[in-house]
Amino acid sequence: RRFLAGLATTAAAVAGATGIALPRGSAAAATRLPLPELLVPTLRDGVLVFPLRAAFGTHEVLPGVTGRSAGFNGSYLGPTIRVSDGQRVRFEVANGLDEDLAVHWHGAHVPPEDDGGVHSAIAPGQSWNPEFTVKQQAATLWYHPHTMGRTARQISWGLAGMLIVDDAASASASASSGLPGEYGIDDIPVIVQSVAVDRRGAIKYDSDGFAARDVSFPLLVNGVAVDRDPPTFTATRGRVRLLNASLSEVLAVRRTDRRPLVQVATESALLPSPTEVDAVRLPAGCRAEVVADVATDGITLEAAVRTTVGRNRDSRQPLLRVLPGPERAKLRPLPSWLNTISRYDVSGLRPRVITLTERGGLLGIDGVSGTTMSAMDRNVIEVRKDELELWEVVNRSPRDHSFHVHDVPFQLVSVNGVAPRGVDLGWRDTVEVRRGATVRIAMRFTDYASDTYLYMLHCHMAEHEDLGMMTSLKVRPA
């Protein structure tokens, strides 16, 4: 804390010395929220082609403290990719790092060979060009490294970006009603990362085994460290797309004035209707969309950050301040209907039990620690295309986890026997499974099957995944 405060003072002193006039009061250090650029594709034979190149760079992680980083098409984070249901898309992913890299489209419903799990590593200097047709509901997804044993460190360098999917329903909700959808105008990407940084600006992750006294733990919002003054964004009505791109921290986002937030989407789809929540809980890897109508004073979002990996640390930090735009009068009400979610009927289904295990310090799934390809082959979860699946995820390890399944979204069926309510009825691809908890989920693997290529399932706390809480998932033909 002292370390951060010292830096802020230095930054202000430097600004003063160079003659930049800073307004007085708490707005002095507030910066405008930087926005990741929208990646403009080229059209080639009816296919939208998106180039992505991962490379090292440097990034000012804290004011005045610059360290080594990595990014896609830049030195930190990556551009936002926006696609629509039904479009044919191709990603041309080049690996400009000096080690293997796999890039995964988190939350995307794609054939297994295009999914970008550990099975699709790209060697340094090589590229990988998955091509598929977007086939899913409007949602806020993301892309990030998924390299065997190296996911945590590669994400921590800054390799992450947002992937927005639109569909006909979301487009018409935006056009005909008050659901904001203009990227960077009223549709705001907010990538939150809780990171560990040493005094020289080097980004650390837990497997580095750092000593907590040598690092500070800033919260980065779109790559900018937030201390007391959150970055600002101006929108009379803002649709905030929240992505927790932290390695393992759980975030609870709320308004500082304690008024409810209006949530419109969970991770994988719009909710049936705008739903008031006190806080949006985001385990690592999760997303949510909220809509905020901004009154004269603006509103501030803050995050309670909970860390359990390697260190136990709780903090509360401001995230973002949305300031009112000029045309307050013209707001149309939010649509009361956003989506229809029909619930899976799982009565009569016997659940498939998947156990999160930890033995002698080895994290695993069903007792197998998936730290190598051959280990992942020892516990392949096999399902059949188009069959309704009921999974019971049991946490038998002495710590919390965050369970993620590739390819299709799932519905929560119960948490410790209790049926979900409210926003927990929404589609998602990651769910927190706390210590000792039993969580039931239901899903159906549609469209794609293969006896050769594999998807994955794992804990999305990136360090846990690297330590082996991960295995392969095979969708066999019907």
Interacting residues toward ligand C2O by CB under 6 A: 104, 106, 144, 146, 285, 404, 406, 456, 458, 460
- The least distance separating ligand C2O from the CB of residue 151, rounded to whole angstroms, comes to 8
Other CB atoms within a 10 A radius of the CB of residue 26 amount to: 9
Rank residues 59 and 460 by Cβ distance to ligand C2O and give the closer one. 460
Q: Mention every residue, 6+ apart, whose C-beta is less than 8 A from residue 149.
A: 371, 466
> Please, what is the minimum distance in Å from the beta carbon of residue 142 to ligand C2O?
7
One of 90, 106, 464, 474 touching Cu ion (CB under 5 A): 464
Taking CB under 5 A as the criterion, which residues in 363-402 touch Cu ion?
401
Encoded one letter per residue, x for contact with Cu ion by CB under 5 A and - for no contact, window 119-138 reads --------------------
Among candidate residues 103, 166, 106, the one with its CA nearest the CA of residue 134: 166
CB of 458 to Cu ion, least distance (A): 8
User: What's the CA gap between 315 and 303, in Å, rounded?
Assistant: 8
Query: 194 burial class (0-12, 13-18, 19+ CB within 10 angstroms)?
Result: buried
Q: Which is nearer to Cu ion, 263 or 307 (CB)?
A: 307
CA distances from 355 to 167, 365, 393, 459 (A): 36, 6, 6, 11
Shortest Å, Cβ 72 to ligand C2O: 15
Closest CB to ligand C2O among 144 and 440? Answer: 144
142 closest CA partner among 179, 181, 191: 191
Shortest Cβ 459–Cu ion spacing (Å): 3
**Minimum distance, C-beta of residue 353 to ligand C2O, in the bound complex (Å):** 21
Q: Kind of pairing, strands 401-405 and 362-365?
A: unpaired
Strand order of the β-sheet with 139-145 is 81-84, 161-166, 139-145, 103-106
| Amino acid, res. 188 | I
| Nearest residue to ligand C2O, by Cβ distance, number only | 106
Please tell me the distance from the alpha carbon of residue 232 to that of residue 253, in angstroms, as a whole number: 16
Contacted by 404, from ligand C2O, Cu ion, none: CB < 5 to 8 Å by type: ligand C2O
Indicate which single residue of 459, 467, 473, 475 sits in contact with Cu ion (rule: CB under 5 A).
459
Contact 397, 215 (CB under 8 A): no
Give the span between the Cα atoms of 265 and 252, in whole angstroms: 16
Nearest to ligand C2O of 322, 381 (CB atom): 381
Q: Which does 401 bind (CB under 5 to 8 A by kind): Cu ion, ligand C2O, none?
A: Cu ion
Residue 94: both structure tokens together: 């080049």
Name which of ligand C2O, Cu ion, none residue 119 binds, using a CB cut-off of 5 to 8 Å depending on partner kind: none
The reply to whether 431 sits near Cu ion by the rule CB under 5 A is: no
Burial string for 360-394 (b: 16+ CB within 10 Å, else e) reads eeebbbbebbbbeeebbeebebebeeeeebbbbbb
**Of 190, 195, 439, 461, which one interacts with Cu ion (CB under 5 A)?**
461
| Residue number, 67 or 78, with CB nearest to ligand C2O | 78
Within 10 A of 243 (CB to CB), how many other CB atoms are there?
26
Find which of Cu ion, ligand C2O, none residue 285 binds, CB within 5 to 8 Å per kind: ligand C2O
Query: Can you give the C-alpha Rg of the chain in angstroms?
Result: 22
* Residue 457 CB, nearest approach to ligand C2O (Å): 8
Which has the closest alpha carbon to 293: 254, 326, 262? 262
Query: Binds 204, which of Cu ion, ligand C2O, none (CB < 5 to 8 A, cut-off by type)?
Result: none
Choosing among ligand C2O, Cu ion, none, which partner's interface includes residue 461 (Cβ < 5 to 8 Å by kind)? Cu ion
Residue with Cβ nearer ligand C2O (116 or 178): 116
Site membership for Cu ion, residue 284 (CB under 5 A) = no
Report the DSSP pairing between strands 47-62 and 103-106. Answer: unpaired
Nearer to ligand C2O, 321 or 406 (CB): 406
CB of 392 to Cu ion, least distance (A): 17
Q: How far is the CB of 469 from Cu ion (least distance, A)?
A: 5
Which of the listed partners (Cu ion, ligand C2O, none) does 464 bind, with a CB threshold of 5 to 8 Å by partner kind?
A: Cu ion
How far apart are alpha carbons 416 and 393 in whole angstroms?
10
Q: Which residues bind Cu ion (CB under 5 A)?
A: 401, 459, 461, 464
